[in-house]
């Protein structure tokens, strides 16, 4: 007989992440299965998953047996061996494949358990590079207000404004320095693009000067930023940042943890912006979330002075998730899902633009299958939209069988890359209703 599954409540022994006690008291939906674009809960209710597992990894859709088979085959052959002093086949193959598909000089790769560890290791590799060249004072990390780069020690110091997480964990590793984000819709300087001289980018030079150029190790940012809801910067932004980093000998890490593997309509987001980073971090869509994996890529130039990367994770370069990643990337390529992300992303954006007439819709934006509606209570002044009203819209969509999420003042969509026109049409119609019932600015 099938096991009866109940909603999770306060009698459960499981600690959830970032879930208020009040929500647990009301009962938490248990997702029990998934197939393609859809997931099912404890009562058999079906949801269209518009955020690819909510944290956005599930690029190839749910329930793909090919990944299960690849994992099974690898475990039968070899389940584990150390990353130190020995190698195994799947991470070697995955590094070769990534060297082929990551454009530009990024050519060397190492594998970790998730995005936070990838960010951590990229920062350590950068510090290692400076240290090996005798540049031993460099330890400061510049990131952007509003950014998120994971939960580990070094990465935590690049946690822009994901509060209260950062405040609770303080004091953080010293050396975290913040620049403003390129969030033109609500520019931190009160300027209007293009009449702004790209202050958010050029200020990074001033910040480096103030912090002492000899102490700055890296600048880290996402090509398209999660923080305010799928924000792509103006085209000038990344080339200016690259130039400033070069001027001061600062390494540029582009965080592809969300963007990588097709999310923005290209394999990697940095391909949109005419920029070549020194290091990239990857996770999420690298395995479509089926098993945990993070990765760091860097140029030969970064590795050149490093004799041995003084680092050791038991689960580094793990053969099983690397086997899953190889199969996942094969599916992404065979089914042309990066191309689908570009095509369906445009279609999605056009659909969302039909919602611009609602008085609370501020800005519609996105790149590939990462789109967002930024809400406001005043279209003219662009005043922020209250979180409780965003939560109400998310709940209303869920009641209708659609899983969406909010980020900043925006509702965000990052569906599996297999989404088709009919599912997008249904989403736009649903959002039209949800926004209309949220009514007018008040
Ligand atoms: C840009 C970025 N970097 C790093 C991370 C951390 O990745 P993980 O949650 O896999 O540790 C995240 C997680 O959402 C992220 O969005």
What's the 3-state SS for the chain?
CCCCCCCECCCCCCCCCCCCHHHHHHCECCEEEEEECEEEECCCCEEEECCCCCCCCCCCCECCHHHHHHHHHHHHHCCCCCCCCCCCHHHHHHHHHHHHHCCCCEEEEEEECCHHHHHHHHHHHHHHHHHHCCCCCCCEEEEECCCCCCCCHHHHCCCCCCCCHHHHHCCCCCCEEEECCCCHHHCCCCCCCCCCCCHHHHHHHHHHHHHCHHHEEEEEECCCECCCCCECCCCCHHHHHHHHHHHHCCEEEEECCCCCCCCCCCCCHHHHCCCCCCEEEECHHHCCCCCCCEEEEEEHHHHCCCCCCCCCCCCCCCHHHHHHHHHHHHHHHHCCHHHHHHHHHHHHHHHHHCCCCCCCEEEEEECCCCEEEEECCECCCCECCCHHHHHHHHHHHHHCCEECEEECCEEEECCCCCCCHHHHHHHHHHHHHHHHHHCCCC
Candidate from 116, 159, 256 with most ligand 1 atoms within 8 A of CB, to mutate: 116
How far apart are the CA of 256 and the centre of ligand 1, in A? 9
| Ligand 1 pocket member 123 (CB < 6 A) | no
Candidate from 230, 257, 412 with most ligand 1 atoms within 8 A of CB, to mutate: 257
Candidate from 283, 325, 407 with most ligand 1 atoms within 8 A of CB, to mutate: 283
How far apart are the CA of 259 and the centre of ligand 1, in A? 10
Closest C-alpha residue for ligand 1 atom 5? 150
| Ligand 1 pocket member 227 (CB < 6 A) | no
How far apart are the CA of 389 and the centre of ligand 1, in A? 26
pLDDT at 170: 74
pLDDT at 167: 74
Supply the mean pLDDT for the chain: 95
CATH number, span 21-60+336-438: 3.90.1150.10
Query: Could you tell me the strand order of the sheet in which 294-299 lies?
Result: 106-112, 294-299, 279-282, 251-255, 216-221, 140-144, 176-179
Residue 140 in tokens: 């400061």
| Ligand 1 pocket member 226 (CB < 6 A) | yes
> Rounded CA gap, 435 and 389, in Å?
10
Q: Using one digit for the tens of pLDDT, what is the confidence trace for 125-176? A: 999 999 999 999 999 999 999 999 988 765 555 565 566 777 777 777 789 8
Average pLDDT over residues 200-204: 98
Domain boundaries for CATH 3.40.640.10 within the chain: 66-334
How far apart are the CA of 377 and the centre of ligand 1, in A? 30
Report the percent of the chain where pLDDT is more than 70.
96
- Which residues are paired to 321 by β-bridges? none
| Ligand 1 pocket member 114 (CB < 6 A) | yes
pLDDT at 153: 65
66-334, CATH topology level: 3.40.640
Is pLDDT above 90 for 119? yes
| Ligand 1 pocket member 150 (CB < 6 A) | yes
| Ligand 1 pocket member 283 (CB < 6 A) | yes
| Ligand 1 pocket member 115 (CB < 6 A) | yes
pLDDT at 440: 73
User: Which numbered atom of ligand 1 lies nearest the CA of 259?
Assistant: 1
Q: Using one digit for the tens of pLDDT, what is the confidence trace for 237-272? A: 999 999 999 999 999 999 999 999 999 999 999 999
Domain boundaries for CATH 3.90.1150.10 within the chain: 21-60+336-438
Of 93, 130, 131, nearest in space to 111 by CA: 93
Q: Using one digit for the tens of pLDDT, what is the confidence trace for 1-40? A: 567 899 999 999 999 998 999 999 999 999 999 999 999 9
- Residue 318: which pLDDT band, with cuts at 50, 70 and 90? very high
Average pLDDT over residues 113-125: 95
pTM: 0.96
Report the percent of the chain where pLDDT is more than 90.
90
> Rounded CA gap, 341 and 59, in Å?
10
Q: Which long-range contacts (CB under 8 A, 24 or more apart) does 126-131 make?
A: 126/217, 126/218, 126/251, 126/253, 126/278, 126/279, 126/302, 127/217, 128/306, 128/309, 128/310, 129/251, 129/302, 129/303, 129/305, 129/306, 130/217, 130/251
pLDDT at 162: 64
Q: Using one digit for the tens of pLDDT, what is the confidence trace for 268-296? A: 999 999 999 999 999 999 999 999 999 99
> Rounded CA gap, 105 and 102, in Å?
8
How far apart are the CA of 264 and the centre of ligand 1, in A? 16
Is pLDDT above 90 for 422? yes
Residue with tokens 């090919």: 66
| Ligand 1 pocket member 317 (CB < 6 A) | no
pLDDT at 45: 98
| Ligand 1 pocket member 278 (CB < 6 A) | no
| Ligand 1 pocket member 256 (CB < 6 A) | no
Is pLDDT above 90 for 202? yes
């Amino acid at each position: 007989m099938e096991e009866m599954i109940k909603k999770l409540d306060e009698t459960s022994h499981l600690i959830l992440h970032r879930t208020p006690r009040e929500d647990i008291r009301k009962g938490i939906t248990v997702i029990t299965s998934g197939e393609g674009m859809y997931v099912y809960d404890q009562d058999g209710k079906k949801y269209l998953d518009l955020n690819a597992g909510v944290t956005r990894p599930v690029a190839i859709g749910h329930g793909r047996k090919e990944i299960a088979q690849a994992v099974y085959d690898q475990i039968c052959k070899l389940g584990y061996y150390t990353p130190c002093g020995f190698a195994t086949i799947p991470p070697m193959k995955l590094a070769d494949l990534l060297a082929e598909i990551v454009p530009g000089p990024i050519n060397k790769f190492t594998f970790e358990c998730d995005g936070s560890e990838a960010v951590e290791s990229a920062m350590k590799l950068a510090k290692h590079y400076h240290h090996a060249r005798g540049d031993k004072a460099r330890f400061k990390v510049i990131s952007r207000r509003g950014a998120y780069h994971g939960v580990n020690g070094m990465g935590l110091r690049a946690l822009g404004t994901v509060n209260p997480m950062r405040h609770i964990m303080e004091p953080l590793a010293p050396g975290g320095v913040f620049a403003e984000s390129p969030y033109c819709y609500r520019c931190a300087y009160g300027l209007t693009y293009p009449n702004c001289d790209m202050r958010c980018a050029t200020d990074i030079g001033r910040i480096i000067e103030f912090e002492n150029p000899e102490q700055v190790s890296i600048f880290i940012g996402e090509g398209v930023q999660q923080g305010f809801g799928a924000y792509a910067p103006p085209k000038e932004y990344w080339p200016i940042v690259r130039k400033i980093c070069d001027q001061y000998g600062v390494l540029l890490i582009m965080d592809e943890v969300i963007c990588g593997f097709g999310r923005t309509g290209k394999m990697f987001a940095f391909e949109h912006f005419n920029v070549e980073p020194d290091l990239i971090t990857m996770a999420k869509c690298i395995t479509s979330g089926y098993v945990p994996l993070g990765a760091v890529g860097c140029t030969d130039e970064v590795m050149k002075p490093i004799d041995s990367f003084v680092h050791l994770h038991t689960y580094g370069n793990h053969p099983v998730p690397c086997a899953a990643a190889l199969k996942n990337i094969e599916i992404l390529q065979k089914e042309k899902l990066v191309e689908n992300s570009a095509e369906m992303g445009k279609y999605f954006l056009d659909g969302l633009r039909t919602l611009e007439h609602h008085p609370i819709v501020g800005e519609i934006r996105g790149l590939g299958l990462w789109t967002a509606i930024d809400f406001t209570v005043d279209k003219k002044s662009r005043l922020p939209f209250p979180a409780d009203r965003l939560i109400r819209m998310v709940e209303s969509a869920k009641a209708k069988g659609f899983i969406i999420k909010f980020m900043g003042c925006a509702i965000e969509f990052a569906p599996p890359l297999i989404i088709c026109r009919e599912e997008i049409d249904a989403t736009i119609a649903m959002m039209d209703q949800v926004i209309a019932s949220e009514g007018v600015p008040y």
